[in-house]
Amino acid sequence: MNEKVRCLIIGSGPAGFTAAIYASRANLAPVLYEGIQPGGQLTTTTDIENFPGYPEGISGTEMMEDLKKQATRFGADIRAGIATSADLTATPKKIVIDGEKTIEADAVIIATGATAKYLGMPDETKYAGMGVSACATCDGFFYRKKVVAVVGGGDTACEEATYLSGLADKVYMIVRKPQLRASKVMQKRVLNNPKIEMLFETNTLGLFGDNGVEGAHLVKRMGEKDEEKFDIAIDGFFLAIGHKPNTDIFKGQIDLDDSGYIKTMPGTPKTNIRGVFAAGDVADSVYRQAITAAGTGCQAALESERYLVELAEAECELSK
């Protein structure tokens, strides 16, 4: 079963819904498929206090519902469904939904986001939104004057630990290796920070706490003769071991960087394929914030409108 649309948006986080709002107001009749996690990563966040317009804060789920309602109000066609394959080289572009329905679209906005990498412990799910976070900038404010731990040894982990050290009383860095793999300047920054304590050659076995994270079970030199198990008391547990952009179905068709993020032309959401635009975390390995994602969603919709106008003009010339 095939369906033809003018503008297809894949993904329903701040980028996708913002693109839907702008595309709808431009009379592009956008169709948006919500994807595997309707509302995106923000639906796993309890409170959001850094998105403009919510002075008292708001839950991630509520904010995404607000964005969805706003997009629907202007006429966006929002549907449940997951994009399972794509042919972006075709004209029009072809996206298969749930392995069954093919959507043909003149313009495509990819807003599929990026998924934070986790250690795989059941406790990470148990304490999601109750002390476990994958975004220090998003949630660090809630840990002022408290004790937190950051897992990871790269630049991202060092950046998160440094940021948290400006809020928390103490920051543990849990590093699996005997040394950091971050750049020298970032290593120097955390190693010289009196609020940051390094726990090298250490793995996390689990978390504990009655009404949220109260501590972590750790092991040093796991599997060695001098293996040592111990606990630390913490209020927050931050994962900083990377993100995986949700771009698997686009590989081999669109330009990606070494980490799998979609490459865009500087300052724009344009990809190497005309009529295909990327917005939000799927093309952003640096900021990964709701507000920046929303901004690129706006850009993608505006560029889609311009592209569709150009396409219509070209078709009109051909028909003469």
Which residues span the domain enclosing 56?
A: 2-116+243-319
Boundary residue ending a domain (209, 224, 239) = 239
Same domain, 188 and 89: no
CATH number of the CATH domain containing 133: 3.50.50.60
Q: Tell me: do 16 and 107 sit in the same domain.
A: yes
* Average confidence (pLDDT) over 72-97: 95
d(CA 97, CA 79): 10
**Pair type for strands 236-239 and 132-133:** parallel
Pair (112, 129) in one structural domain: no
Residues 115-130: pLDDT tens digits? 888 999 999 999 988 9
Buried residues in 11-37 as b, exposed as e (16+ CB within 10 A):
bbbbbbbbbbbbbbebebebbbbbbeb
Confidence of residue 135 (pLDDT cuts 50, 70, 90): confident
253 shares its domain with 112: yes
Q: Is pLDDT above 80 for 8?
A: yes
Residues 190 and 218 both lie in one domain? yes
Cα(165)–Cα(238) distance, integer angstroms? 13
The tally of domains found in the chain comes to: 2
* 82 and 162 co-located in one domain: no
Final residue of a structural domain among 217, 239, 261: 239
pLDDT at 44: 67
Say whether both 98 and 139 belong to one domain: no
> Do 98 and 7 belong together in one domain?
yes
Q: Are residues 109 and 136 located together in one domain of the fold?
A: no
pLDDT at residue 46 in the model? 63
DSSP-based helix, strand, coil % in the chain, nearest 5 = 30, 30, 40
Catalytic residue numbers?
135, 138-139
pLDDT in tens, 187-237: 999 999 999 999 999 999 999 999 999 999 999 999 999 999 999 999 999
Question: 275 pLDDT exceeds 90?
Answer: yes
8/150 same-domain check: no
pTM over 0.75: yes
Do 222 and 78 share a structural domain?
A: no
Domain identity same for 166 and 262: no
Question: Which of 192, 223, 239 is at the close of a domain?
Answer: 239
> How sure is the predictor about 285, in pLDDT bands with cuts at 50, 70 and 90?
confident
